[in-house]
Amino acid sequence: MSAETTTPTALLSVSRLKDYIEADRGRTFVSLLIARRVTHKTAANGNPFWSLELGDRSGSFRCTLFGDSPVCASLSPALEGSALRFEGKVDFYQGTFSPRPTHITPLSEAELAALPPDALDELIEKAPEEAAQLRAEFEDFIKKISHDELRMTLRQVFDAIGEAFYACPAAIAMHHAYRHGLLEHTVHMARVARATLPLYPEVDPDLAMAGILVHDIGKVIEYEGTLAAHRSRRGVLQGHVVLGYQLVRRAGLKAGLDEDRLERLEHIVLSHQGAPEWGAAVYAATPEAVFVSMIDNLDARMGMVQRALRQASDQSEFSERIPGLNTTLLTAPIGGAPPTPSQRESLLTPKTG
């Protein structure tokens, strides 16, 4: 790309923006983005500023807006989860794309509804696998639980929460943080369990699989938002671990699940975060709870890896720093040229056969 400043004529995706290099500083652009984070802060010198995280289905970036900028008039924390028309100039901070905003215009509901379907598809990040296929596979995992009351407990849980589970993200920012992400994360965990359960005969397969399928169910209540997830009132006050425990307990009692299995299933939900400092109510203390907690951690971290690879720029062999991994990620393949976006998508779509 050249360094010339031009009047933008098309909306650019985040992945396209991240192809800019230092020589492009000052180049103007326009993008349609979701405000994932809008945070008002105060610097050490007492000056106020705004920290923004903005993104679309191809990735995200952060930028800072100081309090004396006229653009600040259009900002408020209430914009989180909203669609914005973002006009800015290419800039970098410590080698990372961090543009200078010149105009930020929130889209009204009417303007959002008037967008063509392909624009919305580019705006909203989704799981790379087809949601219908993931859902069918998820249903099959429930059907294959042989213990009747345990299977009925799951049916009661998912009947109670309805369709929300199938579109919910698995997180706001860390892993599988996009539409259908919770479904994808859960199915990936179930696939891992199916492959590894034969190695651990001391783990009850029905109980472990049931625990996997409901371990994050409280996130359906914890998160809300159409375009980008944010925590609900109950999510802030109780959190998904407690909310999930409540859902599972009510369902188990209604299904007539025996007291011992119900307590063990509840314990999987309460302990799956691994440790209290990571959000668990208790440490995992049954074979099934340890098994589920380890698989949850594995798939969460590999989900971060897969997302970083999907969003990798051809301009750098490393990703930006991934908070959940506490490092950047080497995204360049072993030998050869970087794969094209379609090749990368194909490589990262799990085979279900």
Question: DSSP string covering 342-353, please?
Answer: HHHHHHHS----
How many CB atoms are closer than 10 A to CB 100?
Answer: 16
For the stretch 191-250, pLDDT in tens is 999 999 999 999 999 999 999 999 999 999 988 876 667 788 998 899 899 999 999 999
CA distance 245 to 334: 44
Helix (H) or strand (E) holding 252: helix 239-255
Q: How far is CA 149 from CA 164, 195, 211, in A?
A: 24, 24, 14
Burial 198-226 (b: 16+ CB within 10 A, else e): eeeeebbbebbbbbbbbbbbbbbbbbbbe
Q: Which of 128, 62, 138, 129 is nearest to 308 (CA)?
A: 128
Highest-scoring range by mean pLDDT, 170-184, 277-291, 300-314: 277-291
How many CB atoms are closer than 10 A to CB 48?
Answer: 13
Average pLDDT over residues 35-54: 87
The fold adopted by the segment(s) 131-304 is Hypothetical protein af1432 (1.10.3210)
Tokens representing residue 217 in the block: 């169910």
For the stretch 62-86, pLDDT in tens is 998 887 788 888 788 778 778 889 9
Q: Contact 9/60 with Cβ under 8 angstroms? A: no
CA distance 190 to 138: 8
Average pLDDT over residues 24-46: 89
List where CATH 2.40.50.140 sits in the chain. 14-122
The fold adopted by the segment(s) 14-122 is OB fold (Dihydrolipoamide Acetyltransferase, E2P) (2.40.50)
For residue 2, name the pLDDT band (cuts at 50, 70, 90): very low
List where CATH 1.10.3210 sits in the chain. 131-304
Poorest-confidence range of 110-114, 162-166, 303-307?
110-114
